[in-house]
Amino acid sequence: MNAGARFGIPFSLKLLLGLLLFAGMFVVAMTTGAVDVSFRDVWLAAATQADGDKPLMIREIRLPRELAAVFVGAALAVSGAIMQGMTRNPLADPGLLGVTAGANAALAATMAFLPATSYYGITIACFVGAAAGAALVFGIGTMRRGGFSPIRIVLAGAAVSSFLYAVAEGVGLYFKISKDVSMWTAGGIIGTTWSQLQLIGPLIGCGLIGALLLSRQLTVLSLSEEVAAGLGQRILFVKTALLGIVVLLAGASVALVGSLAFLGLIVPHVVRAVVGTDYRYILPMSAVGGAALMLLADTIARTVNAPYETPVAAVIAMMGIPFFLAIVHRGGRTSS
């Protein structure tokens, strides 16, 4: 049966339902918070130059924050889906690549050795560190003849992540900046500005487009390398391109909001249960689902203990840990 028509429902209809869910979640996120606003207030703030406290708050605080949630949710979900397809490992997550650990280490080093660095400099350092962490994992994973295997990547990711986290902790303790580093990497989108979105948004947009262009190749690769080679796929080129996209998406997300685990694990499993195993369907639906889930998590984080904020990383972890244990318990068959 065509994966896109799973349950007898065309993929186009499923995608439309997903977009409606996302749109509804975006409206809820924009109108709910420490200061409740109406949909009319949101519309006036976004479409007109209306003055006042609420329009200003919506334009400068809530709208960039929720757009950041959309970008990060889509990026982490798609990068997680790519990782699971590339490694054929149901527990794969951007954190497996050492992306988060690399960003943390780069952040700590920048704060310690270049304390006068601007926000843009720190953001770029996080992005470069995330890319370096991923490159280190895949470099170690491909040292042996025959290319990387899922097991070697998992082991290399665990070893490199542990090392980079230790480096970040050591630098933070030695230079007495552990609190500053922790505040940055706690995983939150509070205080996101339009300038940050202008820097990170296009990077994530390019990554998502690249992922969609390679979705068919990812579907073939997810079957097995033998099948992909038999169909004439240039495996090394495809893997390198997909890895670059994962680094771009996950690295940009970490640079924008810090460490967020489990989102890239949860969404692809749920999406596969709905649309099947064809990545031409999984990737776009993961982008929509990831954005909606991130909006939900941020809304909960802002309202569950209002007027105080709960770290969004903690909210997602509370959602993800039971899901993770369920996947382990069922041997990674939740998406089959």
Please tell me the total count of domains within the chain: 1
Q: Is residue 302 part of a domain?
A: yes
CB count, 10 Å around CB of 44? 17
Q: Which domain holds residue 243?
A: 67-324
Q: Which of 120, 126, 263, 131 is nearest to 197 (CA)?
A: 120
Q: What angle do CA 82, 88, 92 make, to 5 degrees?
A: 60
What is the pLDDT tens value at each position of the chain, 336 positions in all? 444 555 677 888 999 999 999 999 999 988 887 777 788 888 877 777 777 777 788 888 888 899 999 999 999 999 989 988 887 777 777 766 677 788 778 888 888 888 888 777 877 787 788 778 878 887 777 666 655 566 677 778 778 888 888 888 888 888 888 777 776 666 567 778 888 888 888 989 999 999 999 999 999 888 877 788 787 778 888 888 998 888 788 778 877 777 777 888 889 989 988 888 899 999 999 999 999 999 999 899 888 877 777 888 888 888 877 877 777 676 655 444
- How far apart (Å, rounded) are the C-alpha atoms in residues 255 and 207? 15
Q: Is residue 124 part of a domain?
A: yes
Residues 6+ apart with CB under 8 A from 93: 80, 83, 261, 262, 264, 265
Q: Is residue 291 part of a domain?
A: yes
Q: Is residue 84 part of a domain?
A: yes
Q: Is residue 6 part of a domain?
A: no
For the domain that residue 181 is a member of, what is the CATH number? 1.10.3470.10
Q: Is residue 331 part of a domain?
A: no
48 in Cβ contact with 269 (< 8 Å): no
Dihedral of CA 282/284/285/289: which sign?
A: positive
- How far apart (Å, rounded) are the C-alpha atoms in residues 92 and 84? 5
Q: Is residue 22 part of a domain?
A: no
- How far apart (Å, rounded) are the C-alpha atoms in residues 113 and 266? 37
* Distance (Å) of CA 213 to CA 84, 167, 279: 17, 37, 11
Q: Is residue 33 part of a domain?
A: no
Q: What angle do CA 129, 158, 105 make, to 5 degrees?
A: 25
